[in-house]
Amino acid sequence: MRALILLFCLASVIFYILYIFNGIAESALKKRKFYMKTLLIRISAAALMCVCFFTIIYTSIYKLFGQNAFDGENIGSDLVSQLVSFLYFSVATFATVGYGDISPVDSTSRLAVIMEICFSFITVAYALSMLTEFRRIFSPGPDDKLPEEL
């Protein structure tokens, strides 16, 4: 069961990486015009998708393997409080803050955390690759020039 969970995580991360880099390559080749709203939605959706995906993975691991997978106080005894705890843990992991109040204990949970860290770095790399588009959007164009004084 542990191997299936990790294979699912790994396949999802690989699919995500291929999808993101394919989108970047298409953008570069086709020279598509991006708008600020589209860029912000893509980056926000990627980050939100990562956090939600790993929240579900961590909760599933905890439900299957219990205290042997994650250690921490106040993780919760019901599903809702566990989801909130692992949402918090996933956000802290994504942001690379790592408060330490919840920690992975076994190899399965540690490998899942490593995959989220890789996932988050790819998301940040995607966001950084879009900086050239941000710069293009905010650079002055012919319409932004001030009229010459007489």
Which CATH number goes with the domain that contains 108? Answer: 1.10.287.70
Give 15-35 pLDDT, tens digit per residue. Answer: 887 877 776 666 655 555 656
**pLDDT score recorded for residue 137:** 63
Q: What is the DSSP string of 95-138?
A: TT---SSEEE-SHHHHHHHHHHHHHHHHHHHHHHHTHHHHHHHH
Considering the domain boundaries, does residue 59 fall inside one? Answer: yes
Considering the domain boundaries, does residue 53 fall inside one? Answer: yes
CB 104 within 8 A of CB 67: no
Considering the domain boundaries, does residue 119 fall inside one? Answer: yes
**pLDDT score recorded for residue 150:** 46
Range of the domain at 71: 1-9+47-138
- Cα–Cα distances (Å) from 46 to 3, 15, 56, 120, in that order, read 25, 13, 16, 9
Give 31-85 pLDDT, tens digit per residue. Answer: 556 566 666 777 788 888 889 999 999 999 999 988 889 998 889 889 999 999 9
Q: Is the pLDDT of residue 141 over 70?
A: no
Total domains present in the chain = 1
Considering the domain boundaries, does residue 101 fall inside one? Answer: yes
Q: Is the pLDDT of residue 92 over 70?
A: yes
The per-type count for the chain, helices as H runs and strands as E runs, is: 5, 2
Burial class from Cβ neighbours inside 10 Å (0-12, 13-18, 19+) for residue 51 reads buried
Q: What is the mean pLDDT of residues 123-130?
A: 78
- For 100, phi then psi, to 5°, come to 95, 0
**pLDDT score recorded for residue 14:** 86
Cβ-proximal residues to 90 (8 Å cutoff; 6+ apart), any chain: 51, 52, 54, 55, 58, 116
